[in-house]
Chains A and B, each alone.
Chain A
Amino acid sequence: MPDQLAYWLIIGLMMIGLYIVIAHANLIKKIIGLSIMQISVFMLYIGIAYVEGGAIPIIDANTILYSNPIPHVLILTAIVVGIATVALAMALIIRINEAFGTIEEDELAAGAGEQ
């Protein structure tokens, strides 16, 4: 098993998210794609923090090796910020739907062209 297999899997997940963002016209699906990309970045950070044989970074007298706590801190806050921004995006989508009657990107663009 190659050393970097975990990173490759994470990049695969990231590319799935990127494809959804580019290829799908539905705005909710785009947000789901963005969330998948976001989660892959979280996993990349946590993967970098991982130390083989290390313990959870809670100091204990009998443990010497811990995983790196700094990425954990960054991602911990990013998760909660992520859900707050997703909520904001969802609110925007709801307003778009109420104003234009569609959440498909191509229909929105066609509607804008008519005006």
Chain B
Amino acid sequence: MMDAADVAFTEAAVGAGVSTLLLLKTLALTRRYAKPQKQRNWLALSIVTITGCLLIYGTSDLPAYGSADAPAHQHLSAHYLEKSVEETGVPNVVTAILASYRGFDTMGELVVIFIAGIGVLSLISPTEKVKASSGLFLQQHTVLRIVGKMLMPLIMMFALYVQFHGDYGPGGGFQAGVIFASAMILYSILFGPEAVRAVISDRVTRLLAAFGILLYAGTGFAAMVNGGAFLDYTFLGSEQVAAQLLGILLVELGVGITVAAVMVRVFLEFDQRPVIKLPLLKLPVTNKGDR
């Protein structure tokens, strides 16, 4: 629609699987029914209306939707579109900017994902070994289990294709990581989290999540050792384009590994959290001790 293939790809991979599942899992772990609202919140409605009107008034200063001579398209992006093939050898400009021109920014984003993963682990990872929630996965659906098993290698192969074809078509580390994680999550839904743990243990996901960032930063430091700036891939080899391609490949691999490991681990933690049964209606804080 808006010619943003990479973004659409990412949103499809994230929105269709991971986010919905996390939401459902949280609902299952907390409570299914919200307290009914007492009345319409007129104050909130008026605030929202006023804000909306102000924002719409603000759009009158924006350049017309879809106009090619808008200021946003003039300076850097024109340079990237003209020079990226020559400078990095990557026809997909989104990948070139993501991994090379704005490599430092992407590394920061990756660290945010890593830290969010650590946060989830420290919040809901069980302190002692608990028995995984059993019986919830689809034991009795033979057709689903067999079809799921058949799809598993295809999904993983597609993830690898997306990972390594990201230079030439839509794709890259972020999408591939999420797709790979979806395969694992599908496996977890069908056969239970213990089956996934048998393939990738908690120790492995923890190490892989850190390894991805290390690979990313290591590529940056390798460029520094060779005399360039941090993440300046040109110094990774003798020829500029080949060196850039190598750098982008390594960095995207680091992104893919960390994203996949964090997503799988976060889902497993949500999946194995025992449901704590509480009375459905309101239960104000009764015990100061259990905070």
Contact = CB atoms under 8 A, between A and B. Distances in A.
B168 to A, nearest CB: 7
Contacts of A49: 2, 4, 72
Q: Is the interface of B mostly helix, strand, loop or mixed?
A: helix
28 contacts: A8-B56, A11-B55, A15-B49, A22-B48, A28-B27, A56-B4, A57-B3, A57-B92, A57-B93, A58-B94, A59-B84, A59-B92, A67-B4, A76-B172, A79-B11, A81-B109, A81-B113, A84-B262, A84-B266, A85-B116, A86-B22, A93-B26, A94-B273, A97-B30, A100-B284, A103-B30, A107-B282, A114-B284
A31 B98 CA distance: 28
Interface string B16-35: 00110011011101110011
Q: Is the interface of A mostly helix, strand, loop or mixed?
A: helix
A85 B170 CA distance: 25
Given A58-B170, A77-B174, A115 B80 contact: no
A67 B273 contact: no
A12 B272 CA distance: 38
Given A3-B64, A66-B81, A94-B29, A72 B7 contact: yes
B142 interface: no
Contact of A7 (B26, B37, B62, B290): B62
A73 B106 CA distance: 9
Interface residues of A, number: 80
Interface of A: 3-8, 11-12, 14-15, 18-19, 22-26, 28-29, 32, 35, 42, 46-60, 65-73, 75-88, 90-95, 97-104, 107, 110-112, 114-115
Contact of B7 (A42, A52, A59, A92): A42
A104 B278 CA distance: 14
